[in-house]
Amino acid sequence: MNCYYLGLRKFRIFGLILSFIFMFPFSLQANSINTHQNKNQQDRAVCEADLKQKIDDILNQKKLKRSHWGILVKTLDNQTTLYELNPQKYFIPASNVKLLTTAATLIKFGSNYQIKTPVYASGDYPNLSVLKVVGKGDPTLSSEQLETLAKQLKIKGIQRIENLVVEDSSIDENTINPTWEWEDIQFYYAPSVNRLILNENAVLLSLYPQELGEKLTIKWSDPLAAKQWEIDNKTITGDKDSPYSVTINRNFEKPLLTITGSLAINSEPDLFGMAVVNPGQYFLDSLEFYLEKEGIDIINSEVMYGNNELDDLVKITEIESHKLEKIITKANQESNNLYAESLLNMMVDDTSENTAIDTLKATLESLKLDSDMYHLKDGSGLSRHNLVSPEVFVNLLTSIQGTPVGEVYRQSLAIGGVNGTLENRFKETKVEGKIQAKTGTLSGASSLSGYIEPSNYSQLAFSIMVNQSDLPASELRKIIDEIVINLAYLEPC
């Protein structure tokens, strides 16, 4: 770092000398550049009165004729409407649903809340009759934390566990949302969402080319998760630079993956994030592995479902999650579906008659969001049964800013050209670093809702959604971005 600043200092000194030597011609050139830049700025400026025509012109393209668009743009301070198109119509919002989920959990629990996974035991050291871990839906729990737990138990002198139990308080083993598409649920972005989550209930599968004509070699990042899958390997190593054609299909009658297609002999490994088949069993297998690694003998082990009596068990420790502020940031910035669904699960306790979505809606009524204005089937946006209007998102974005968690919520969103799902959007534009928003993408649907800070206008809250399009997602994003860039050039003129 010191060398960097020394080099930077020398560069600045050298530039300063040149400026004195060539002061006059450089000044002329600088004035010329500034004049040109100012002219471009004036040419690009979008007057408030012209905004409607600018956006209408973008949407009146022939290729968008069959698309269904919904847009609402308001000032953040006094909620003045600057542009609207179907603001109260329902749209499939895709991952913009996470805006509702994260807002509700943040309001209900606060930014410093942590999910605590309790560990109970009975018996006398060094031999325990029962060791029980009760899952509470912590999406941040990792193998490293289980390894740490095993080491702590070893330090306490535990040598033998008669019955190792992990409890998943989910109702049963079926924790896949029934409204998700089947082709999604074999992959990492649509895993089971239970109460015993480990490593985001996902595992990495890698395919490596071999000699020409040979099957690809399959490797897993975690053999404990991998053993739940059966593999039918029908792949082949293709010629140098041959077309890629690998596909993975799941047999839903049993955990069988059929892998077909060709990967060129000179290709890099082909990587797939796969969902863990049985997360509860994976959690148990992993905990048992780390306990035995520490020399602790396990006699019996099982996964229990539902809420069970603790009897004479005593809590001996607990595993804490990251703070909620960090969890919602990952859900929003990275659009992590498992995190969002875990947050939704937090919205109702195991004894309540209300569903988690009922509680979410009741919580958001504090922001004056009418529960009849939107319909949800999940907390992540993977479901095509979700229906939300642009007005709901803009009302949420403006209302939450007046709450104690408003700034934490805003900072949880991706920043254009900087991080998260917006890292590669708006680079080298006037919007870079000036927009905080949530993306959303499903086939035929794209959305973007959030905040933008125009240089010469008050801050804005906006929601842009498109459904029923036959255009690729990349093209829809370009059109949405064009609209947003016009907002960045907004002026009162």
233 and 96 in a common domain: no
> In the listed set 275, 292, 309, which residue is the last one of a domain according to the structure?
275
| Average pLDDT over every residue of 133-140 | 96
Where in the sequence is the domain holding 129, given as residue range(s)? 116-173+284-321
306 and 159 in a common domain: yes
Give the tens place of pLDDT for each residue, 415-443: 999 999 999 999 999 999 999 999 999 99
Residue 222 located in a structural domain: yes
240 and 148 in a common domain: no
CATH number for the domain including 394? Answer: 3.40.710.10
Whether omega for the bond prior to residue 126 falls within 30 degrees of 0, making it cis, is: yes
Length of the chain: 493
151 and 127 in a common domain: yes
CATH number for the domain including 311? Answer: 3.50.80.20
Residue 156 located in a structural domain: yes
204 and 83 in a common domain: no
Residue 221 located in a structural domain: yes
Give the tokens for residue 74.
């308001």
> In the listed set 321, 349, 376, which residue is the last one of a domain according to the structure?
321
| Average pLDDT over every residue of 474-486 | 97
Give the tens place of pLDDT for each residue, 185-242: 899 999 999 999 999 999 999 999 999 999 999 999 999 999 999 999 999 999 999 9
140 and 100 in a common domain: no
Split at pLDDT 50, 70, 90, the class of 377 is very high
Q: Number of folded domains in the chain?
A: 3
Strand ranges (E), 54-201: 68-75, 81-85, 116-124, 127-135, 160-168
Q: From residue 354, give the alpha-carbon distance in Å to each of 290, 351, 362.
A: 38, 9, 10
Residue 107 located in a structural domain: yes
155 and 65 in a common domain: no
**Residue 491 contacts residue 46 (beta carbons within 8 Å):** yes
**Residue 440 contacts residue 340 (beta carbons within 8 Å):** no
Phi, psi torsion values for 485, nearest 5 degrees: -65, -35
In the predicted model, is pLDDT for residue 5 greater than 80?
no
Residue 187 located in a structural domain: no
344 and 462 in a common domain: yes
127 and 108 in a common domain: no
Split at pLDDT 50, 70, 90, the class of 310 is confident
Q: Which amino acid is at 66?
A: R
- From CA 272, how far away is CA 275, in angstroms rounded? 10
- From CA 466, how far away is CA 71, in angstroms rounded? 9
- What is the model's pLDDT at position 350? 61
Q: From residue 415, give the alpha-carbon distance in Å to each of 96, 136, 171, 436, 454.
A: 15, 31, 38, 5, 14
Residue 17 located in a structural domain: no
Give the tokens for residue 198.
């480990």
Give the tens place of pLDDT for each residue, 61-76: 999 999 999 999 999 9
DSSP codes of every residue in 304-343: EES----TT-EEEEEEE---HHHHHHHHHHS--HHHHHHH
Residue 56 located in a structural domain: yes
317 and 256 in a common domain: no
310 and 370 in a common domain: no
| Average pLDDT over every residue of 446-471 | 97
**Residue 477 contacts residue 464 (beta carbons within 8 Å):** no
Residue 10 located in a structural domain: no
Phi, psi torsion values for 425, nearest 5 degrees: -110, 145
471 and 415 in a common domain: yes
